[in-house]
Structure 1
């Protein structure tokens, strides 16, 4: 990871200290009484958590993790001082009144009081941070998609296995009842043989053209935010954190809607079809040979369509030879209708059950048993998103060997399994 110029670093820390009123520099050790919650576990038995990235997607983590009985908020970092200050206020509202605050992830990862890290940065930083944290002996909760590229996914999985760490990808739909019911219905053959699946992703706008270059705001380390991606002069839209816009619209920092909603819905398709260990074999972009919709196929012919209609106002539609399952967040419908009331017994297939994604992570940290969405799952689901993006960007069909994990017969597309990284931001070795 890149060494930050000392003067820039000192200036940021000084400004952050003045703005937030928190001690920056040496790690601050939290005492149990600091949190003011007599129902909390004792300090010695609690899990110290550090937050890396405190922007939009992190807000739920900043509220939920510190509210859990066995968790102690220890540290937080963000390259944008305003986001860090907001995070410190949220943590204080949960009783964490003394937190080590910094702009730099190294200080979180090397902090001996941090047992686990929660990574909520833009996608292009996920892999490097997860690998560095696991090398340092930390367990990792990393937002979805787990990585930006296929080769990064292989590296994160290798790190999880080599260092014996616990990793949870933030694909929280696996920890909700309706998606679990859908997976069980499909796995048990109650809609017959699945032939097609429709997934609703919708679209992002294109990045604005000729957006004015403006000065980098004070308290924002823009170079660090860019990290391994190409350098561009600063524009506001490029770094804007918004679910339907901003940095998510740029190929440099994500895989647009494939890495956004695709990372959720394609993950559920993998789960329901029992394909977490493998993947599709062909990806066809919209417009290729007249195709009206982007789609991909598994070796047995099951086809998954992006934004095909009708979806009956649901996020995912499983179509089988004997029925259908339509599922979204908070609702499920089936054809026949009675299927959704199915009760599964000990002789039925039942997928891994988790009712709280963050709690599942913490339970695994303590038990050392795999989470519901470990690196192996995050990598395979992420690969589908990344291959879909490669097909869209090249405008041609992509053949994929899920066993060798290589694109077949297309050297240009195969090179896109990874991306160049700026000097000083090389991917950590495993």
Structure 2
């Protein structure tokens, strides 16, 4: 009998686009071998929930891996569901399609799910999946509200599941190196962090349009307030669409902020904590920012980024980092400086989805579990609350409560429509 792949072997194989052959006479559900931990000869049966833009990459990835089988696809758009099914049946003729995610979770042979829905559905599906015994990969930001985040963290612990938030920059070499440079004090005490998020157009009220045949708009809205259907409201678009509306996310704070604020948290060693003050643009500065209790200020869309996405400014140097493994430093020598034995080394992952699959096998935490995803999402949500209310928000990261502002504190959660209560 073969053994479960070790870390080096797994990641090496996970980094290659190996076509799945499904030549074995039977694919065993991972949880049937070893009390919820995959056995050495098992593959992981995966359900893909929400087959819009981001799921296209996930479909390609998990279809091509030797450790995974795409066993189910789900979407509220019938046409999108059928298209995803046709794609996945190229490798697995047994793949099934569903319009309702509950049917996916009812299948005892599904080991894990990937959640690629709009933000307002992340928490409910993630909790329901973990309650059903599934491991979870959920896109960023992990939740729509702060209280939802607390609930997902509690569910991860309660049900003993593996969860990965899709904050994939943690699995890119340049971002890890940048965080290690900052964490080890090579640029001295950090004074400021500049994060380039960009902007969306102002939210717009669109005229009502007929709901397309084959689309469950009522369920798409889910827990959010009812609004007349318009194709722009539900559009899958990285430049806007549903991301443009406060009802379904935190706009750019929850879009690029979920990536760049996450790396900032990591570099500043704040994964179990957070800032204490959130200030909207124009209150006392011409930019939006938040601050930690030691005075480090994180500034949105302001200053010279020097061609990068994130810029850490310290008393003795700087670190600038972007995707595609772009890393620049001042002094220049820091970028190539090796870590000393006494230096802090951060969790190393070179493939975010492979890290999740490896963790399903080993039952060890992912690089971005629920507790980390919640703290990052909290920053996105608090920045959004400050922006919407137009005033400074004070935050206690220990009690996880908004301070001295009862009206603002109401925004830690949002009312949910009847029939869409959050699972427990």
Q: Which of 33, 39, 43 is the equivalent residue of 2:27?
A: 43
> How far did 1:41 drift?
11
- Computed over aligned residues only, the root mean square deviation of the Cα atoms, in angstroms, reads 1.4
Q: Which moved more, 1:150-159 or 1:231-240?
A: 231-240
Q: Which of 208, 212, 218 is the equivalent residue of 1:217?
A: 212
> How far did 1:381 drift?
0.4
Question: Counterpart in 2 of 1:77?
Answer: 74
Deviations, residues 68-99 of structure 1 (Å, cap 9, x unaligned): 11111111110011211221132134x12221
1:177 aligns with 2:173: yes
Q: Which of 349, 358, 367 is the equivalent residue of 2:353?
A: 358
1:315 aligns with 2:309: yes
Deviations, residues 177-218 of structure 1 (Å, cap 9, x unaligned): 000000110111110110100000010012334x23111101
Counterpart Cα distance in 1 of 2:410 and 2:162:
30
Deviations, residues 125-160 of structure 1 (Å, cap 9, x unaligned): 000000000011110000000000000000000000
1:166 aligns with 2:153: no
Counterpart Cα distance in 1 of 2:409 and 2:321:
34
Counterpart Cα distance in 1 of 2:95 and 2:422:
28
Q: Which of 181, 187, 209 is the equivalent residue of 1:191?
A: 187
Deviations, residues 300-359 of structure 1 (Å, cap 9, x unaligned): 000000001111111000000110000000201000011100111332111000000000
Question: Counterpart in 1 of 2:89?
Answer: 92
Q: Which of 295, 304, 312 is the equivalent residue of 2:298?
A: 304
Equivalences for residues 230-379 of structure 1 within 5 A: 230-289=225-284, 291-330=285-324, 331-379=326-374
Counterpart Cα distance in 2 of 1:42 and 1:332:
46
Equivalences for residues 126-165 of structure 1 within 5 A: 126-165=122-161
CA contact (8 A) 1:178 1:329 kept: yes
Gaps of 5+ in 1: 1-33
Gaps of 5+ in 2: 1-18, 29-41
The alignment partner of 1:252 has SS state of: helix
1:57 aligns with 2:58: no
Counterpart Cα distance in 2 of 1:340 and 1:82:
48
The alignment partner of 1:129 has SS state of: helix
The alignment partner of 1:241 has SS state of: coil
CA contact (8 A) 1:80 1:103 kept: yes
Deviations, residues 229-257 of structure 1 (Å, cap 9, x unaligned): 00011111000000011000000000000
CA contact (8 A) 1:35 1:97 kept: no
Query: Once superposed, which parts of structure 1, at least 4 consecutive aligned residues long, lie more than 3 Å away?
Result: 34-38
Deviations, residues 270-327 of structure 1 (Å, cap 9, x unaligned): 00011000000000000113x2000000000000000011111110000001100000
CA contact (8 A) 2:122 2:138 kept: yes
> How far did 1:67 drift?
1.1
Counterpart Cα distance in 2 of 1:144 and 1:42:
34
Counterpart Cα distance in 1 of 2:86 and 2:239:
26
Counterpart Cα distance in 1 of 2:158 and 2:199:
38
Question: Counterpart in 1 of 2:11?
Answer: none
> How far did 1:35 drift?
5.9
CA contact (8 A) 2:224 2:247 kept: yes
TM-score by length of 2: 0.91
The alignment partner of 2:374 has SS state of: helix
Question: Counterpart in 2 of 1:11?
Answer: none
Q: What is the number of equivalent residue pairs in this alignment? A: 392
> How far did 1:264 drift?
0.2
Counterpart Cα distance in 1 of 2:340 and 2:407:
49
Counterpart Cα distance in 2 of 1:47 and 1:414:
41
Counterpart Cα distance in 1 of 2:89 and 2:286:
51
The alignment partner of 1:64 has SS state of: helix
